[in-house]
Amino acid sequence: MNTRRMNVLLAILVFILSLMNNVAIAQDPGIVIEDSAEGLAQCSVDCAAANPQAPNPPTSSRINRHNIEQFLTDEHLTRWGVTLPKPSYIFTKNPGLSEDPSILAWTSVAYVDNSRYRLYVQPDGTVHAWVVPISVKPASTQSILTVVVDHGNTNIADVMATLLVDAQNAINADHWEHAAQIGLPEPIVAFDYSNLLVSANEFSDPLQGPKTPTSVYDLITTKGYAVDDFDLVVVMDLDPANQAGGWAYLGGTFAYIGWFQLGGAGYFTITPELMASFARALYHHEVGHNWGWEHTWDGNDFTYSGPLIVNPRLFGWTDIDGDGVPEILDSTPYGGAY
């Protein structure tokens, strides 16, 4: 085989492998965002309740309140070929960009087709850009299977049909509240819940099994559930003897929450307050990561005060381009034509 033909075949093989890899990324990104138990415990009540004063965008820096919109439009077009005449953005602290916790930047997020585009823009013109594929957008009614793991040291089995259902209904009510605030007749996002109680001992490793997607998928399959029947599969692993935080695949379809409150040996009673805390952490916070949310979008909650995980503008949950349709539901989002 001559060298030219071999190179052509090699190029085709690389192309096929890249396509396979992209499919794998879309289904199971492998990009994990982790949340410590301590950080989640601090937000066991609404973190945005003490919403501080949002900073004002500068007026005379290289990038300022007067030119930021055009700058973002140009960046999306030149970087990704995406036309956004009316980009969505906020201006706030972004401590993730520097060792300086007071650093300021614009955050711009756009959902177009099956991708989530994100730009951080500092006043000096420094840009941090990232695009990731999204399996499930933050829109529509989403079927979600919650695998609740019983370690035998709580009353979770007794409150599955009461406290858990109440907490889940409250999550949906948060989305109804946002819809009412912007004049929509129904929420942009709603969860259609299915709940499955399993014993930790049904995993070959009772501690690590609930944290391992393949182990979770294998177990629910043996119980007659098909993973593909759900938009999202999430785990509520409430073991007070082994405190754990949460994690989720960014842009993926799996999320996990552990017992992040104070725990220890012995038997613990899950109260309505505790259940509400676990539900918010799972369905707002961790599922937010599945939708593409990063902590640094507005990590200090400067620009939004409410039950949702971040300023709704960044999930496309508001009408930016003035056509009466929230961007995540719009066939021509952010004023573009696709």
Domain ranges for the chain, please list them: 3-30, 50-134+293-335, 137-290
How far apart are the C-alpha atoms of 338 and 331, rounded to whole Å?
Answer: 8
Burial class of residue 73, CB neighbours in 10 A (0-12, 13-18, 19+): buried
DSSP 163: I
CB 326 within 8 Å of CB 316: yes
How far apart are the C-alpha atoms of 32 and 102, rounded to whole Å?
Answer: 26
- pLDDT tens digits for range 297-306: 975 567 888 8
What are the start-end ranges of the H helices in 83-155? none
Model confidence at 9, pLDDT cuts 50, 70, 90, reads very low
pLDDT for 55 beyond 90: no
How far apart are the C-alpha atoms of 29 and 34, rounded to whole Å?
Answer: 14
Torsion angles phi and psi, residue 282, rounded to 5: -80, -55
- pLDDT tens digits for range 254-308: 999 999 999 999 999 999 999 999 999 999 999 999 999 999 997 556 788 888 9
pLDDT for residue 53: 74
Per-residue burial over 30-54, b if 16 or more Cβ lie within 10 Å, else e, is eeebebebebbeebbebbbeeeeeb
pLDDT for 19 beyond 80: no
pLDDT for 209 beyond 80: yes
Residues whose CB falls within 8 Å of the CB of residue 151, separated by 6 or more in sequence, listed in order: 200, 206, 238, 239, 241
pLDDT for 124 beyond 90: yes
